[in-house]
Structure 1
Amino acid sequence: MTDLPKPTYIIREATAVDAASMLAHLDVLRSEPGIHIITQPGESTFTVEDEQRFITTLNNADNSLFLVAVDSENTVIGALLFQGGDRRAVQHSTELSISVQREWRDQGVGTALLSRGIEWARSSDVVKRLELHVFAENARAIRVYEKLGFEVEGRLRHGVFREGQYHDQLVMSLLIDGDPL
């Protein structure tokens, strides 16, 4: 029996051309039962044009980054977003969100996206703090974040109500080069 080749993907910065594929990616995730994201099916009102503007805005900010993982057909299968604060007092801090489609999980896509994002943050003159919220029951994601240096700062009890029940969230962060200021 021959081993099938592993599917391939590349990680790159998102462009406005990725808007439709990114929205399709999010639609797939939102419909997945038990998914650890906040937006539920039917809640997003973003159009392709809105997503194009959003990507362009982030690409023009010194403290934000939008990466996509795309398959061999250039379809988004994962994404990482660092959205930096827009006020001077918080411009050093970015909020992180990450998503990987189910069939691509456990293949290193999420870790590769995070590693690339952290590398970008370390080379930034602006970014000094990466912050994220993660469902407290998402042990797999928490292990990956901790492996990459993130630490738990606190718990948001009943922070999310999804699929008929409350979920706690953990606030985690990674400081870049020590103290944020």
Structure 2
Amino acid sequence: MIIINQEYQFKGLTYTIRSAVKADAKSLSEVRLQVDGETEHMDRVPGEAFIDEAGFEEIIGRDMSHPRNICLVAEADGRIIGYSRCEGHDLQRFKHKVEFGVGVLQQYWGFGVGKHLLQASIAWADTNGITKMILSGVLETNEKAIQLYQSLGFEVEGILKKDRILSDGKYYSTYMMARYTD
């Protein structure tokens, strides 16, 4: 699906949230790889489950035509600085929900990019009859993200204990979070 471009100005940064297009595929591959290396809040270490340019072209093409999928990018100065994606289901019993994920380059943290990507995704979901958005595996130590998600109506549905091993060799729990509308 496609959304109308939305421009934001925050702390001196001007950026646009828009639907991803196939021409973004190479940049999305590079940004995703960089984001994976900048924080342990993501599911992957750099290079794991790598998606190349062709893979992102396929994902974007599928998302543009699927009524319960959307891929958004945040762009500043002609450069992609973040992304989000909602992926829905074709099974009748699950058509009401999507899984959501987001990533923002570390140098752009604190500029509202993740929040605006999430708000655009929520608006899209609400407009398209999606009544449940799921965040799988929010790391327990990612307090800023948890606070953001809760401020936008997400709640903890469950805890996966000792769900991840981080670089310090310790196990960490993750939260399953969701936002519901009726």
TM-score by length of 1: 0.89
Q: How many Å apart are 1:62 and its aligned residue? A: 0.8
Q: What value does the CA root-mean-square deviation take over the aligned residues?
A: 1.4
For residues 86 and 39 of structure 1, what CA distance do their matches in structure 2 show? 26
> Unpaired segments of 5 or more residues in structure 2?
1-10
Determine the structure 2 residue equivalent to 1:169. Answer: 174
- Residues 29, 35 of structure 1: 8 Å contact kept: no
Asked if the contact 1:111/1:144 (under 8 Å) is kept, the reply is yes
TM-aligned CA deviation for residue 44 of structure 1? 2.7
Which contiguous aligned blocks of 4+ residues in structure 1 show a shift greater than 6 angstroms?
A: none
Matched, 1:15 2:60: no
Aligned length: 170
1:108 aligns with 2:109: no
- Aligned identity (percent) is 29
Is 1:29 the counterpart of 2:35 in the alignment?
A: yes
Task: Show the 5 A alignment for 1:22-171.
Answer: 22-32=28-38, 34-73=39-78, 75-125=79-129, 127-133=130-136, 134-163=138-167, 164-171=169-176
Counterpart in the other structure of 2:4: none
Larger C-alpha radius of gyration, 1 or 2? 1
Q: Where do 5+ consecutive residues of structure 1 fail to align?
A: none
Separation in 1, partners of 2:60, 2:45: 21
Higher strand share: 2
TM-score (normalizing by structure 2):
0.88
